[in-house]
Structures are given as structure tokens and as C-alpha cells.
Amino acid sequence: MSLGLNGSHQSALLLQEFVKGNETFQQTYFKKHEAQLLNLVRDGQNPRALFIGCSDSRVIPDLIVQTRPGDLFVVRNVGNFVAPYKPDEDFHSTAAAIEYAVHVLKVSEIIICGHSHCGAIAALYDSLCDLSMIHTRKWLTLGEKAKSMAIAALGENVPQEELLRATEHFSVLTQIENLLTYPYVKTLVEDEKLFIHGWYYDIETGAIDYYDPDTKQFDPLSDLAE
């Protein structure tokens, strides 16, 4: 039985690129920061923030905020969605990451970061025809509330791109709502021991906006430095 291992010539060329990339990493970045990286091995990780982002290959958390290894505990999934708390013993990848980050790593911040031109959000307006994609279809239902909010706010007759951008923003807020259904998260937030942040990354400019609950709008993240 073939598992597709060491398959096509194209695949082999891609793997060669990865090999060269790892060699470059070892010879440059790892060698330059070896002491810091070995400290993380000896002392373990102690990230301050859990970053919940999208699996989109254009959105790389450590790159867009220039963090170092050990700074962020990262979970990425399609659409940067958070499923509501469900206290059963089924498989819940994102929930497990939240649980581990809060209980074991004891992070003080959780960042939910959406982004522009998100394929998951676009798929909400373009029904998937492939019925075999059962997991994707179910997962995308986590974006339906944001879609309804965007349509209610703008109407259905606005340009599609405007509706998509609004849905992306509303989705950040609805995922925060879902995150607060986790009892231990809600308790720590109420006790001001854990803080939740809603971010929106614009892949066309590299800029990040944050949600201000007081003004109920997204403002430039750079404003926080002023």
C-alpha cells in the first residue's frame, strides 16, 4: 500500500527546499540564538500569550509581531474559530490548546486574530459543493453568526468585498463570545487575571487593528504605544 511517501519529482524538489531551509536555519538563526534556545529547553516554555490565529499560510504570528521562540503559544485553525465550550471527552483540538495554555502555562493574555481575505469567511458566502468535506462544512458553521451580523449591519446589496471585510471583523467578536463560554476563562477574565484581545491583520498592508470594547470599533494597534 502506497502512502504517497517519496513520491513525485515535484515533491522531491519541494523537500529539497525544506532541507536547505533547515540547514540555513541551523547555521544562522539557531547558531546566533543558541544560548536562548537552549535556555528554553532547560527551563521550559513560559509564554505570556495564547495566540489563536488562522491556518492561512500568509498569516504567520511570530512574523507579523516579531516575537521570539517562547513568547507565544500558538494554535491555528481554519478561520481562527473557537468552538463553544463542550464538556465531553471527544477530540477538541482548539479547546485542548486553550485548556493547556490557561491551566498549565498560565498565560495572562489570549489573542484572537482574524485577517483580511480569509478563505473561511469567503466560504460562508459560497456553499461547498464537495459533500465529502464533512469536517470543513461543520467547522464553517462557527462563522455563521458573524455572517448574519454583517448582513444585518450592511445589507445584502453592498459590494461583496465590503461584506467580507465586515464579516471578518464580526467573526473576531463572535469567537471572543465563544471563548467566554469556557468557565475557567470567564472566571479568570472576571478576576482580571486573564485578558482577551481581538485583533485583525490586514495582509495587504501588514497592519494590525485591535478591538476597543469602549468605542466598539477596531483601531490601529500602534495607538496602544502612544
User: What is the Cα–Cα distance from 146 to 71, expressed in whole angstroms?
Assistant: 30
**pLDDT mean over 4-24:** 84
The answer to whether residue 194 scores a pLDDT higher than 50 is: yes
- Report the predicted TM-score, pTM, of the whole model to 2 decimal places: 0.93
Q: Which CATH number fits domain 45-221: 3.40.1050.10, 1.10.357.10, 3.40.50.360, 2.70.98.10?
A: 3.40.1050.10
Query: Cell 490586514 belongs to which residue?
Result: 202
The answer to whether residue 32 scores a pLDDT higher than 90 is: yes
**Structural domain boundaries in the chain:** 11-43, 45-221
The pLDDT assigned to 187 comes to: 98
The pLDDT assigned to 1 comes to: 43
Q: Where in the sequence numbering do the catalytic residues fall? A: 54, 56, 58, 115, 118
Is 100 or 3 the better-scoring residue by pLDDT? 100
Is 96 or 5 the better-scoring residue by pLDDT? 96
**pLDDT mean over 107-114:** 98
Q: H-type helices in 82-140, by residue range?
A: 93-103, 119-123, 134-140
Across the chain, mean pLDDT equals 94
- With 0-12 / 13-18 / 19 or more C-beta atoms within 10 angstroms meaning exposed / middle / buried, residue 86 is exposed
Beta-ladder partners of 165: none
Segments of the chain assigned E as strands: 49-54, 72-77, 109-115, 195-201, 208-212, 217-220
